[in-house]
Structure 1
């Protein structure tokens, strides 16, 4: 099986460890945040400061990014595991079902390929050499991690340890259908109860719909958020939009997911800790962030993509 590996974020000749490894384990991790490219870039730029990196980061729809060199120690699982693992793999999170299916298949098949390359059994968390979860390393050697199954695969996508063990043993020929996907909270937006008889609605070109006013206090299912004259509007019907400013979300956003999502900075890079699904955030403005699109500014250099807001119509 051939894999295309992006070497953009590979450590240089004088970066990272120069110590060769033994060939006992392939270690499986998950990043705890969204975006493989962003995580690979973070390792590349911060390995010396954080003393943490791995050989491979994957995600973003089955993409593979190299950071450390195969067969040389990475710093991801404690000194003994690091010294005996020619490859450690980080799986980046996603809230998108199609993306996850590709990520998971690549995660499994790449781990199997590397195990075979180094003469390591394709056995998950057995008592001898093999492919190991970070949780197994923590329980049997050193550490306190529960990734990647308990922290991500099972609670977010229904992939149990038994399922992962089966897939590691036999591989994935066809992209699997996850048993569970993240769910939207809903996409209902509610119009304010202002002292008015009705609120005007608008078309995508910004002109008013003269015969389609809506009553105060009513709720509407929104199919998307569009920017009209520099402001966010909800799509509630065929070319019928209402400004966010006349809804209960006039100055805030509610994250429309039951799992954490990530904000980005003005460069479009993933930043900060996970933002809890269902949490509400005040926003100051809406900004067009390069490579990401329109985002709510929720803090200094911290932007939440519109698709993660209730009313975006996003279904994962």
Structure 2
């Protein structure tokens, strides 16, 4: 399984809402809702988020995960949230988890929970250790650890995770190492954002306008459902509704990787659209080929990558094309 960090900000707090203090980068705090009614509600995460959004003056977290790996932002990462009392000033990110009785939904939720925690711990220079040390020892912390060190009465998320077979030891291991990718059918259309210096990247709308105040984190992974050219003919991956990630901002910068779900060899064409015969298994699944940051619209074929003076590969064969072949 692999989780792609796509964050729904429809319920995010706006200007003047929530705590304006910048948190100290000590803890990423893990919670779960504690609401058993969630297991009877197939829209539990949305209802939890709506409630938290409407009652932010009482309590709120940075993110809420649920509904099969969906991630909703409420508070602004890097700023104080109100979900763990004395631990709030030291936690740039706090993550809630909605309950479910469905094992398949939980598996996706758990993957999102782990990836989100790991991503933001790394972003803020926080160790990937779980519940290590006492107050002031940086790392990923359960709400139970916060209670033990700062007061309160919450002991989540361990009981809920245990109900799905996840022990504290397993959680610690998964936070440290990440979840193993075991689904090649999914990964064939996963692309990974990449910045050589680790800096933030930019997502774009179809009209070429950059997303405002939404920096993209390097190393995060996204499911792409298509490839289109921007106004300069440069390839972009469709990673959400009207959300495009330039290929130059991924690990596939100027590379064609033959989509492994296809399982057979890709077909190359000439600039005139004629299929090139006699290539055998040259363009086999998972092979990688150097290309330029540009697509070519070939008559009767469509958009293609150029991989040699005479060979062009249709975009459907590229990882991230969404090809279901």
Under TM normalisation by the shorter chain, which class is it?
Answer: 0.5 to 0.7
**Which residue does the alignment assign to 1:24?**
26
Residue 79 of structure 2 is aligned to residue 72 of structure 1: yes
Q: Distance in 2 between matches of 1:75 and 1:90?
A: 12
Task: Write out per-residue CA displacement over residues 165-223 of structure 1, whole angstroms, 9 at most, x where no aligned residue.
Answer: 111111112479xxxxxxxxxxxxxxxxxxxxxxxxxxxxxxxxxxxxxxxxxxxxxxx
In 2, are the aligned partners of 1:102 and 1:175 still within 8 Å (CA)?
Answer: no
In 2, are the aligned partners of 1:73 and 1:86 still within 8 Å (CA)?
Answer: yes
**Which residue does the alignment assign to 2:157?**
148
Residues 1-316 of structure 1 aligned to structure 2 (within 5 Å): 2-33=4-35, 34=38, 35-48=44-57, 51-79=58-86, 81-127=87-133, 128-150=137-159, 152-154=160-162, 156-174=163-181
Instruction: Using the TM superposition, give the Cα deviation of residue 37 of structure 1 relative to its aligned residue in structure 2, in angstroms.
Output: 1.3
Structure 2 CA distance for partners of 1:2 and 1:102, relative to 1, 3 Å: closer
RMSD: 1.5
Structure 2 CA distance for partners of 1:165 and 1:46, relative to 1, 3 Å: same
Q: Distance in 2 between matches of 1:102 and 1:173?
A: 13
Structure 2 CA distance for partners of 1:56 and 1:175, relative to 1, 3 Å: farther
Instruction: Using the TM superposition, give the Cα deviation of residue 36 of structure 1 relative to its aligned residue in structure 2, in angstroms.
Output: 1.4
- Runs (5+) with no aligned partner, structure 2: 39-43, 184-325
* TM-score normalised by L of structure 2: 0.51
* TM-score normalised by L of structure 1: 0.53
Structure 2 CA distance for partners of 1:103 and 1:2, relative to 1, 3 Å: closer
Aligned residues: 171
Task: Write out per-residue CA displacement over residues 142-165 of structure 1, whole angstroms, 9 at most, x where no aligned residue.
Answer: 211110012x111x2121111101
- Runs (5+) with no aligned partner, structure 1: 177-316
Q: Distance in 2 between matches of 1:2 and 1:109?
A: 8
Task: Write out per-residue CA displacement over residues 75-97 of structure 1, whole angstroms, 9 at most, x where no aligned residue.
Answer: 00013x11010000001001111
Q: Distance in 1 between matches of 2:16 and 2:51?
A: 17
In 2, are the aligned partners of 1:9 and 1:41 still within 8 Å (CA)?
Answer: yes
In 1, are the aligned partners of 2:27 and 2:126 still within 8 Å (CA)?
Answer: yes
More strand by share: 1
In 1, are the aligned partners of 2:5 and 2:115 still within 8 Å (CA)?
Answer: no
Describe the SS at the equivalent of 2:33.
strand
Flag as ranges the 4+ runs of structure 1 deviating above 3 A.
none
